Structures are given as C-alpha cells and as structure tokens.
Structure 1
Amino acid sequence: MEETIEIYLGDWLYNAGIVGFLKIFEFNNSSSDIIRGDNFISFNRDMLADFQEKYFSFVYQKANTIKDKAEKLKNLLSSEATTEKIKEYIKSITISKTMKNDAVISEILIETKKSKDWRGIANKLIEALPSHWDRNKDLYSKYYLQGFYEGKSIFNANVKSKIKELFHRDFIKPLFSDDKQKKKVHYCKVCNKRIAQKDTFFDEGAFKLTGASANEFKNFYWNLIPNTHLCSLCELIYLCSFAGFSNLRAIGDYRRYLFVNLDTAVDDIYKINNAVENFILPSRKNPYKAIIHNMLLNFQQKRSRWSLGNILFVEFATESEPYRIQHFHVPAYIAKLFEGDNYKDFEQLDGFYYKERKEDKESINVLQKTIDCLLGGISLYGFLNKIMRDMISGKHNRSNGLFNMVKIQKSLDIYKIRRDDMKEKATKKLWSLYYEGQDISKELKRTGAENKIDSIAYKMLSSLRVRDSKSFYDTMLRLYMNLGRKVPATLLETFSPDSVLDPEALGYAFLTGLLGKEYSEHTEKGGNSNE
C-alpha cells in the first residue's frame, strides 16, 4: 500500500474535490504537510486516519443555519418588529421534524398554544437554539450534504444517527484496507492507478446532480454493465467537492453555487476559487466579470494565455433547478496583452477613476472599464475620446495615463492580425507622436497661445470620433503652418503604404501628448521615455 499519495488534476468536479480537500485541511490548520505540485497534490496516507473529524468540523460551519435563525430572532426583537411578524418567523423556523423532535424545543413550542407572549417565546428560543444545534449538528450536516450527494451510506434518507461513525466506516476505513487481496479487481476510471472498490461507481453518490445512477440507468453503459468504477480515494475526493464550491448567498441566492475550473495548476485553481468565496462574492460584484479581471491582472506567466482561453464556470442549484455550465473564452490576442512588458500599460491605469457626470456618486475605475471594453470587443478609442473631451471641459485633471490606452489598443490591433513583428516599431512611433504633441503644447504656451490648445484638441477629437481623417489632418496642417513648423514625417505616417499606424492611433497618441502633463513629470512617475 502506497504511503505517499498523489492526487492529480482531472475533470472540473474532481478539481473541485481537490480544492475542497485543501480547504478542509486548511480550515483545520493542518494543510502545511500537503505538497502542492503543478498538477497534483501529495500527502502521507496517515493524514487521513481521522479525516472524518476534519471533514465534519468543516461541514458544521457550512451547515449551521441555526445560528442565523437565532440572530434573525434577535434582530426582530431589537428592531421592535410587530408581534405578528415575530410569530410568523417562529412558526417558519420550527416547522421541521428535527425541531419538533427535540424535547427542549418541543416544550417551548407547546407554550405557543397556551401563551400569546411571542416575544417571550422568541427569547426562550434564542437561548435554546445553540444547544439544539449541538445536539443535532450531525443530522443537520447530513441534510446539508444531501444537497450534493445521495444514496450511499450517510446520504441514505433512512440514516438518522451515528453519522460520523458511518462516514468513517464507509469512506475512511477502506483507504487503509489491502486491495491486493481481492481476486477479481477493476481499476479506478478516474486515476487509472488504484484498485476500485466493489460496487462503487461514479454516480449520484459522487455528486447527485450528475444523475448518472449506475443502478437505475444501466442502459447508459455498454452491455448494461456499469464500468465507471471508483477507488476509495477518488470517491473521497469527490465527496470533498462541496467544500470547493462558492455559495452565491452574498449576492442574494442561497441555493446556487459556483466553481471556476482552469487548465493550469492546483495553486491557480485554489487561489481563484478562494478569491471568489472570500473577496469577489462578498464585494457583491458580478462574479464572472470580477473573476476575469482578477485573472487578467494576476496571471502574468506565459501559461496565462492558455488558462484564459479555457476558463470553465460551473454554476448550479442544490434544489430542483438543473446545473448550468458556462464556458468563457478569452481570445489569445487579448490574453497576450497581459504578458510581459504589456502588463505595465495596465499598471499605469491602476488607481485612475473617472466620472461621466460631476453629479455621479460613484466613479468609474478606468482600468476595469478598459478590461470590459477589451472583453466586449469594443474599441478603447471611444472611451478615450469621452475622457479627453471631459478633460477639456474641466471635469477631470489632465493625465498621462491615457497614452497607455492608445498603446493597449494598438497592441491589440497588431496581435489580432498576428503581426507581432510590427509591435516594436509601432510602439516607437506612438511614443514619438506623444512627445511631438507635448512639444506643440510647449510651443503654444511659449508663444502665448495656450488658450488655443483646448479648442484645437476638441476639434481634432470631434474628427476622430466620427473617423473623419480628412478634417483631422486639415486641423493638424493648419496648426503647424500657424506655428511655422515643418510637419514631421511621423504625422504623415498613415499615407505610407507600409505604415504600422492607423489615423486613430496616430491622432490619439498625438492628442494625449498635447493634453497631457510635461513628459519630464511622466518620466518621474514611471513612464517609459526610452522608446
């Protein structure tokens, strides 16, 4: 029997089990002895000897709705709710058989037939509910787990007692039996490594929403013989999947759960699901959008392009509704924007907020809005045009960070047509145009024509907004003629047959320089002035 066990990543449900397994050990402060490889975890078999204790201590904190009910009663009393409202709530929470079969609770409920003092009854329940939980926590935990599993062992509807002991007998003890003594064996269909248990299959016992009953749907199998055999260890991993799911109660849905699967590493899957449960859902953000933002801004390795293109969201309900699988694909040319030096352009936008109207209470996070545009296939130039026109009208301070949006959009256009070889040349051209815009701004200020900057920029922005390149160049040429300056070759770039810039990229690069701060300030703040 192997003493060191290795569990490898598999399907999304198995991966949820691995995440749940790690969470259970972490909750019990005993995860330090589990080694996390790139696509596996490993640990000593002896760590599972008392796993039922760790398992149920985790389940208790998930299944304890009694604490919430006691808290709700306290709130009703402190908020001076009507007696009728208190009465209705008490009746709703004491309707279950578990409540009625509890002698202490039952005695309190008898009073409801004699007394009309519902506030007094509420106080007695508040005092009695914690001990009621202690007496019945294994049973409540079983009901909680039945939302995910059914049929076998403790998940059988008739099982009412010795739940933890049964779990140990049926799921932990087999982990320490000698499988090699069996005469006729099947190997586990999941790990293809360990010997499967007799009559143990991947069915509703492993996860009830799969609906793959080996007994009731034998016609699903070749020759009507179920062959989805499971070893005791893989079965246990599936039984940990509940702990890998994030409940959507924070955004108002108590029955639904979410899991995010990636084709990368154990740590990546663990961290993103941990972020979903502890940060993203409690913040009440759209979980799908926030998850993509989180991944785009934190996965800087080259493998991110693969992982972003293979995100799997699994959302399901534990009551009546079918589960729903959503596949979110991020194209490689977008994922590439977050690799290497490209990532610096997004960092420059971090902390930049924008209000569409001064009276708006909440500001728009420019970084998040930029990512939203990219994922939605919307050009950044429209958003950039709006911000710059608002800058001119005095709604916002001038910022050099906007130039990074031009670089991002141009990089995207290049990656989209798979002409990565154009990237370096295009970036140098954009920087040249940015500095040219700043030089013109300085020249206008030097000649006392600073008040013309905004009107010239507004006219150019209006032309770019409707993609009127003729009008844009007319304004540009008049500006240079009035200043007595020669139009640099870079500004005429788009007229060249081998141009790497389009009129919009050229125009916005120039205008971000014209309306931005001095580039000496930009350099001090971390901008790249060496291009």
Structure 2
Amino acid sequence: MERIYLGDWLYNAGIVGFLKINSHLWKIGNGKLESTDEGLLKIGDNYIGIDRKIFEGFSKRFFDYAFKQYGRYENLLKLFDEYLNDLNSLDKEENAEKLRKRYFRNEELSFKDLKKSLPIEIHGRFKKILDGFILLKKKLGKVPSKNEIKKDKDLLVKYLEKSIKIMKTEKNNFWESDVQIYLRRIYGQKSFLNKSVNKNRFEKFYKDFEGLLLSSSIKYDRVFKCINCVERKAKKDTIFDTGISKFYGLNPDSVNFMWNFKSKLPLCDICEIIYFSYFAGLTPVRKNEKTHFYFVNSDSSVEELLKENLLLESILKRDAKENFLLEFFTELILIAETKKGRIYSSKCSSHRA
C-alpha cells in the first residue's frame, strides 16, 4: 500500500478532497471514521494507505465531483424551467403579484404592463447567461431579438425549451466543458485544463492520471525522490507550478529560486494526484457574486481533519452568514467537550469495575 501522510495545508486539502471523491470507501459510524474496504483504503492516525486499484473509475468520480461542486448545469436547468413556468403563467391575473415581486421588486406595474415587460426582462436575463455559457450559445444559434419577443413571447418560450432539450440530450458535452471551465479557475493550465484542449477532456485526464496510476508505464526521474513525501520516486518532468495551484505561490519564476533554478520540481505520481484533488477538499460559497473557498487545516489526525471540514461544509450549506465561523467553532467545542465527557465517563466506569 502507498502511504499518504498529512503535510502542508494544501496537501491536507488534497487528502480531504481525495477522500470525498472516493466517499464510497469510507463512512462515519458512531462518530468514528472507518474504511469500508481496507483492501483499497486504510485510514491511519496521520496518514491514509491506498492500493493503486483505488484509481479504477477515479476519472469519472473526479469529474462528477467537480461538475456537482460547480453546479452551473443543474442551476441553469432549474432556472430555465422557472422562466418557462413564469412565461406560461403570465396570462392568469392571479399570478401577477407573485411575478411582479420576483422580477420587478417594488415597481408598480399593472397587469397589462407586466404582460409586456416580463418577456423582455426574462429575454435580457437569458441573453446575459448565454454570454457566459458559450457552449450552449453556439448550439442554440441565433436568439430572437428584443423586438421579436415584444411581438411574440412564444418565440422566447420555444428557445428556452430548445435550451433545456439541448442541455439534457448533450449532457456529457456540458459535463466535460463545465469541469474544465471550473477547474481552470482553481488550477491553471495542467493536463486537460490547458487552453489547447477543447475536446476529449475526460479522455485526456484519464490518460494523464488514471491510466498511468493503474499501469506500470510511468517514467520516473533517475535521480530525485518526491520533494513532498521524500519516499517515492519522482515522476519524470512533473511541473509543480500554477498547474498545481494558482494561489500557492509556485510558478516558473518563483520556482527558479526554490529548486536549482529549474521550473520543474520532482513530485511523485501519488502526491501529484493528491494535490490535484484539493479542489474537492475546499468548501465553495457564493457571496456577492463571487465564489469564496474555505478550508480548515488540522494536523492532529486524518479523522479530525475530515470531520472538521465536513462540519464546516454543513454549516456553510445551511446559511453562509457573516458569523459562520463563530457557529463553527462553537459546534467544534461542543463536540470536543462531549467527546471528553464520554472518555471521562468511560474511565470512571472502568475504575469502578
């Protein structure tokens, strides 16, 4: 088994991400983190052990996790469906107040004015979305103009229906494209995230990672061991720069001062994939039209590291208020005190016996 020990905060985020991507191999029962298949995954105190067979199907799990975390596809399908329902319910006056509040807030609009204004408003929002959703925009072709919508709102209804149909029937294309778009913002230009890769993205990732990790065809550096684990042989020509992280302070320029004036740092194939999994260890929260990422670092144990980040994730999913950290640390202290109380109770019971 390959051992993966706790390390710096980014690597620890990678361990958490790797465990989340492979969530089918562990569970938390009675407050304890346990492996469900110790042949593939062993959970130690300050490390996880993995058999290389764990990488069978890893590429799909990796893409599925990133696709779900990004969430654009599902959110837009839901939004387009809402637009359709609202346009189709516009003819009934009893729906006017609800629609006015949803799209025009406190503006005073008569039912007649609402019927004219709502299709134009939805058309504007739809076009704005398409400007940032290039794949769908290309597949849709020419969108009706504002004047055409004024004359016939059913043209907009048809285009929304067409959008939903395209997204559902060609989901795999959006799956690959959205994962690339999302992870480019986090990692940079590594592997399938390179700007030159505009098709077969999943295949590229499989070839660069899963395929190599499962085979014995990896080319290793003749001299260096991995700079991170200092145990396994370094993978030949691994670039440890913005392909690993945009915000970690490693790029070809700064790396030159760190490692013998070279832009390549020796990293093994296992540590490379752990670093490449750190996106899944972060909890993204959308605030003020920006995505913020949160992570709690801990070097006490793998179990505590994972559980603390799962707790943070659950709190942020409930409601990302300004005082969420206060709520997080309060719950963390309560858990620690409860755990301490159980240990004390157990000791007392043992002493009486």
Q: Normalization by structure 1: what TM-score? A: 0.51
Q: Which residue of 2 aligns with 1:154?
A: 192
Q: Which residue of 2 aligns with 1:9?
A: 6
Q: Which residue of 2 aligns with 1:243?
A: 280
User: Match of 1:145, SS?
Assistant: helix
Q: Deviations over 1:207-233 (max 9, x none)?
A: 12224113x445423542357321111
Q: Which residue of 2 aligns with 1:32?
A: 36
Q: Deviations over 1:75-134 (max 9, x none)?
A: 3443545122101111011123312322xx22xx34448842234433433343323433
Change (3 A) 1:186 1:279: same
Shift of residue 269, structure 1, vs aligned partner: 1.0
Q: How does 1:27-426 map to 2 (within 5 A)?
A: 32-33=36-37, 34-76=41-83, 77-78=85-86, 80=99, 81=103, 82-95=118-131, 96-102=133-139, 105-106=140-141, 109-112=142-145, 115-116=148-149, 117=153, 118-176=156-214, 178=216, 184-214=222-252, 216-221=253-258, 223-226=260-263, 228-249=265-286, 254-285=290-321, 286-300=323-337
Change (3 A) 1:144 1:181: closer
User: Match of 1:204, SS?
Assistant: coil
Q: Which has the higher contact order (CA 8 A, sep 6+)?
A: 2
Q: Could you tell me how far apart the structure 1 residues matched to 2:325 and 2:281 are?
A: 17
Amino acid at match of 1:22: L
Q: Could you tell me how far apart the structure 1 residues matched to 2:70 and 2:298 are?
A: 28
Q: Deviations over 1:272-310 (max 9, x none)?
A: 111111234413442211221121111249xxxxxxxxx
Q: Could you tell me how far apart the structure 2 residues matched to 1:280 and 1:110 are?
A: 38
Amino acid at match of 1:41: I
User: Match of 1:229, SS?
Assistant: coil
Q: Deviations over 1:437-464 (max 9, x none)?
A: xxxxxxxxxxxxxxxxxxxxxxxxxxxx
Q: Could you tell me how far apart the structure 1 residues matched to 2:293 and 2:21 are?
A: 18
Q: Is the 8 A contact 2:284 2:291 kept in 1?
A: yes
Shift of residue 32, structure 1, vs aligned partner: 2.1
Change (3 A) 1:211 1:132: farther
Q: Is the 8 A contact 2:14 2:280 kept in 1?
A: yes
Q: Which runs of 5+ in 1 are unaligned?
A: 302-337, 345-531
User: Match of 2:295, SS?
Assistant: strand
Q: Could you tell me how far apart the structure 1 residues matched to 2:176 and 2:260 are?
A: 40
Amino acid at match of 1:32: T
Q: Is the 8 A contact 1:86 1:122 kept in 2?
A: no
User: Match of 1:42, SS?
Assistant: strand
Aligned residues: 299
Shift of residue 9, structure 1, vs aligned partner: 0.6
User: Match of 1:210, SS?
Assistant: coil
Q: Which residue of 2 aligns with 1:529?
A: none
Q: Which runs of 5+ in 2 are unaligned?
A: 28-34, 87-97, 104-117, 346-353
User: Match of 1:158, SS?
Assistant: coil
Q: Could you tell me how far apart the structure 1 residues matched to 2:274 and 2:54 are?
A: 14
Change (3 A) 1:280 1:142: closer
Q: Could you tell me how far apart the structure 2 residues matched to 1:261 and 1:163 are?
A: 31
Amino acid at match of 1:279: I
Change (3 A) 1:257 1:27: farther
Determine which structure has more spread, i.e. the larger CA radius of gyration. Answer: 1
Q: Could you tell me how far apart the structure 2 residues matched to 1:282 and 1:181 are?
A: 46
User: Match of 1:46, SS?
Assistant: helix
Q: Which residue of 1 aligns with 2:107?
A: none
Amino acid at match of 1:26: S
Q: Could you tell me how far apart the structure 1 residues matched to 2:254 and 2:269 are?
A: 22
Q: Is the 8 A contact 1:39 1:265 kept in 2?
A: yes
Shift of residue 159, structure 1, vs aligned partner: 0.5
Q: Deviations over 1:174-223 (max 9, x none)?
A: 32455898572311111110111122143211112224113x44542354
User: Match of 1:273, SS?
Assistant: helix
Amino acid at match of 1:55: F
Q: Could you tell me how far apart the structure 1 residues matched to 2:187 and 2:51 are?
A: 27
Change (3 A) 1:58 1:222: closer
Q: Could you tell me how far apart the structure 2 residues matched to 1:193 and 1:228 are?
A: 15
Q: Could you tell me how far apart the structure 2 residues matched to 1:211 and 1:157 are?
A: 21
Change (3 A) 1:238 1:223: closer
Change (3 A) 1:200 1:260: same
